[in-house]
Amino acid sequence: LDDRDGKIWMDGQLVDWRDAKIHVLSHTLHYGCGAFEGVRAYKTDKGTAIFRLREHTERLFNSAKILRMKLPFTIEQVEEAQKQVVRENALESCYLRPLTWIGSEKLGVSPKGNQIHLMVAAWAWGAYLGEEGMKRGIRVKTSSYTRHHVNITMTQAKAVSNYTNSILANMEATEDGYDEALLLDASGFVSEGAGENLFVIKGGVVYTPDLSAGALNGITRNTIFHICQDLGLKLVEKRITRDEVYISDEAFFTGTAAEVTPIRELDRVELGTGSRGPITEKIQSAFFDIVNGRNPKYAHWLSLV
Ligand code: PMP
């Protein structure tokens, strides 16, 4: 990913892709305090547009606030930086990665006095869990790793360090031949995937874990809430047990990278009919209409670059 043409926005400047480097004594590299976003831009009839740019940018600022990092830029500047990298790299549809980290002035746990940096990169990235998975559904394994407790790492921050837990869970699941991991919270209730929120459907009602289970407040998750309302589907946020997932009619993961990915199996237990369910398909199709600019009701969620 580092050896290619293009531009990356770093601390207010566009730099050549290959020159976008940091020092090995960067504080974040040692202690893991940093925050990032995952954002997508889609091709629409009006041109390339970033989906829910304001919400993603606000979440980045909130993550930084939780981590006591003061970003030396305004929300407007960070929004413009994201539009700029899509334009400069001539991308029609892409994934964007804004990341903030602490500089290399000194080490020691306290980052006081170190500079806060910010970069934005963008590149083409297809279906995160595979094209096939989007149609057939993916196979998921309950992780032996517990999701972060709400008072250990801060679960509403999209913090760099939170992802060690995600990496361990994802590697365990994929090395066992599954596509993704499902993590439970410290009390044993369903929390989220390694990089996705979970939804289950039972008797026509859509359920998702409430945020006290330590799941990230996903922006795609919120988009699904709107879609459910539009489709007349009842949506309930509640504590969910792993066996409720086993006996659900349908289930799916959501995320900026994962979009809406159906789940066909958990722990070798077939969910519903063992393929993408009909309600999931409806939600998925409504989602792609919105992000691709085919639903005028949500035109305000698309920022042309
Ligand atoms: N949970 C985790 C752990 C994630 O990494 C992500 C991806 N950002 C999500 C949930 C989904 O969030 P969003 O829909 O905002 O991308």
What is the C-alpha separation between 290 and 281, in angstroms, rounded? 14
Ligand 1 atom closest to the CA of 215, numbered from 1: 1
Distance of CA 217 to the CA centre of its chain: 9
Tokens of 290: 């919105």
| Chain segment 102-160, per-residue pLDDT in tens | 999 999 999 999 999 999 999 999 888 889 999 999 999 999 999 999 999 999 999 99
Report how far ligand 1's centroid is from the alpha carbon of 31 (Å).
22
Question: What is the secondary structure of 216-243 as a DSSP string?
Answer: ---HHHHHHHHHHHHTT--EEEE---HH
Confidence band of 214 (pLDDT split at 50, 70, 90): very high
Q: What is the pTM of this model?
A: 0.97
Q: Which residues are catalytic, by number?
A: 158
Cα-to-centroid distance, 259 and ligand 1 (Å): 10
Q: Which domains does the chain have, with CATH numbers?
A: 7-123 (3.30.470.10), 131-291 (3.20.10.10)
Which residue's CA is the nearest one to ligand 1's atom 3? 195
Q: Is 223 in the pocket of ligand 1 (CB under 6 A)?
A: no
Q: Which of 128, 161, 256 to mutate to test the pocket of ligand 1 (most atoms within 8 A of CB)?
A: 256
ipTM attached to this prediction: 0.99
Question: What spacing in Å lies between the alpha carbon of 225 and ligand 1's midpoint?
Answer: 15
pLDDT of residue 126: 87
Per-residue pLDDT reduced to its tens digit, 248-290: 999 999 999 999 999 999 999 999 999 999 999 999 999 999 9
The span from the CA of 15 to the CA of 217, in Å, is 32
The predicted-structure confidence for 37-87, as pLDDT tens digits, reads as follows: 999 999 999 999 999 999 999 999 999 999 999 999 999 999 999 999 999
pLDDT at 127: 86
Q: Give the Å distance between the CA of 47 and the centre of ligand 1.
A: 26
The DSSP element (H or E) to which 17 belongs, if any, is: none
Verify whether ligand 1 is closer than 6 Å to residue 98 (CB atom). Answer: no
